[in-house]
Amino acid sequence: MTEPAPAALSCDLLAKALEAKDAAAVAFALRNDRIVVPLLAVDGPPAVRVFRRDGSDRYMLLLFSSTANYVAMLPSEDDHRVVAYDATELRTYLTESIGVLESVWFDVAGPHPMQADPADILAALSFDSGVAPRD
């Protein structure tokens, strides 16, 4: 797992995609930028923080376009640990956790929230355009 990220992390591609409510642009951002992933505030190895709705036996993965948007969701907390995941790290996490996840939320507290099925995010991360990267 990547080391915890700096407090002012921001993912502009994702923020713009969410503002436009453009699912294809969100997928592009996930494949080409880093995303803010909350961590549990625990001693020991970093662990992704997931959330559960009352009465549900599955979890929601909340991802953010900036650390500020995560802090806005939980303003009463004082320890907002995050990590920046790239596409490979996010794909690995989703592959390992997909059986316990019911949804993925982006910037759930705003300003432009969006929800997706974990399988759809995993498929988007696994998409191969067939176009060779440019040098």
Confidence of residue 42 (pLDDT cuts 50, 70, 90): confident
Is the distance from CB of 36 to CB of 12 less than 8 angstroms?
Answer: no
pLDDT score of 50? 96
pLDDT at residue 5 greater than cutoff 50 = no
| Beta-sheet pairing, 101-106 with 59-63 | parallel
What are the structure tokens assigned to 73, written together?
């969701």
Confidence of residue 127 (pLDDT cuts 50, 70, 90): confident
Percentage of the chain modeled with pLDDT above 90 = 76
pLDDT at residue 135 greater than cutoff 90 = no
Mean pLDDT, all residues of the chain:
89
pLDDT at residue 49 greater than cutoff 90 = yes
Domains of the chain, start order = 12-126 (3.40.1350.90)
Q: Which residue has the higher pLDDT, 89 or 134?
A: 89
Q: Average pLDDT of 100-115? A: 96
Is the distance from CB of 21 to CB of 114 less than 8 angstroms?
Answer: yes
